[in-house]
Amino acid sequence: MKAVILNENGGTDKLIYTTDHPEPEIKPNEVLVNVKATSINRADLVIRNGYPGLSLKFPHILGGDITGIIAKTGSDVKNFKKGERILSWSIVSESDNDWTRRGKAGQSPDWQYFGMHRPGSYAEYSAVPESSLIKLPDNVSFEDAACLPVAGLTAYHAVKTVGDVQKGDKFFLWGGTSGLGTIAIQLAKSLGAVVFATAGYDHKTEHLKRMGVDYIFNHRDGLAIDDEVLKITHGSGIDVILDYVGPEAFPKNFKMVKKGGKILFCGILTGMEAMVSLHQTYLRHISLLGLYLGEKRELEDLVKMVSDGIIKPHIGATLELKDAAKAHEMMAKGEVIGKIVLKV
């Protein structure tokens, strides 16, 4: 089968396109998905380079976004059949434990992620347990669906579940034109929030205007964004901040979050550690909340929102699977708005 494989960690030159990689064998509880589209996520670049403490079984296939048509079903599969259009939750979590019984299977200690712990979606075929499958409505394209399991679900989990953004809340997002950002903005606007967002290029700030973002900042122009936000909010600050930048943005986040507000973390682009003032945290009742991805039921809800026309993924570039290395380079440069999709 066609696939892009890693034989070792490193740069984009380590992404090897092949047409004769072995097709996966499925277990009784799995289906074989003929992957039609996938997308590039920041996690793919991190895993490719080598993540501390993570040991991959080479050759490895990256990619957490699986969508396509069922080509074959295992003997124990009951609710899906050959030929159906599907989307996969990017997590496999099948243990019977306290986490799964509380509806938080995605946070179970033995969770697995496609493209990290299991072979991923940069391939013509992928083996997926029935428990991770979602039926894909006919009016949702494979390309749009490929934007949802990682970036889309993280945005949903952050805005609607962990952040619990309400009508009238002030919502701030660093990097509003990313794949995650474009969906998070739409979700926040659909909830009636006042949205603040940053971007680093003029064509990106123009896109934010078209999306209806209320307050837009170019983080490359030297503006003290935290001070500007406090001026706009008359000193009260932001209710919910979503940050995947990390330590570089943390002091600004801490300054502009309101008393009783939330800072949500879902990325480490600028490092893994930050200094925090404990006494200011408790005196101001600030909630510091980490998150990744989300639950299957949240992805199902997001798929329905796309099907109903409430949310529309923004695809900034579409490439062929063989161009995965180029797609990684494009993401690293940060010039593309929205998602970079690979057609398989």
Same domain, residue pair 319 and 258: no
Angle at CA of residue 140, ends 134 and 141, nearest 5° = 105
| β strands within the chain, DSSP E | 3-6, 15-18, 30-39, 67-73, 85-88, 91-92, 112-113, 125-129, 133-135, 170-173, 194-199, 215-218, 238-243, 257-265, 287-290, 315-320, 339-343
CB 172 within 8 A of CB 196: yes
- 190 and 91 co-located in one domain: no
Do 281 and 180 reside in the same domain of the chain?
Answer: yes
Residue ranges making up the domain that contains 176: 152-290
Task: Point out the least confidently predicted range of 17-31, 235-249, 316-330.
Answer: 235-249
Q: Are residues 25 and 112 in the same domain?
A: yes
Q: What is the tally of structural domains in the chain?
A: 2
Pairing label, strands 170-173, 194-199: parallel
Residues 217 and 321 in one domain: no
264 located within any domain: yes
Q: Is the per-residue pLDDT at 268 higher than 90?
A: no
| pTM for the predicted model, two decimal places | 0.95
- Residue 197 CB coordination number (10 Å): 26
* Same structural domain, 240 and 268: yes
d(CA 125, CA 344): 9
CB atoms within 10 A of CB 169: 20
Asked if residues 152 and 182 have their Cβ atoms less than 8 Å apart, the reply is no
Q: Which CATH number is 21's domain given?
A: 3.90.180.10
User: pLDDT tens digits for 56-73?
Assistant: 999 999 999 999 999 999
Q: Is residue 69 part of a domain?
A: yes
Q: Are residues 98 and 170 in the same domain?
A: no
The C-alpha atoms of residue 181 and residue 189 are separated, in whole angstroms, by 12
Task: Give the CATH number, domain containing residue 193.
Answer: 3.40.50.720
Q: What is the mean pLDDT of residues 173-197?
A: 97
In terms of domains, do 139 and 57 share one? yes
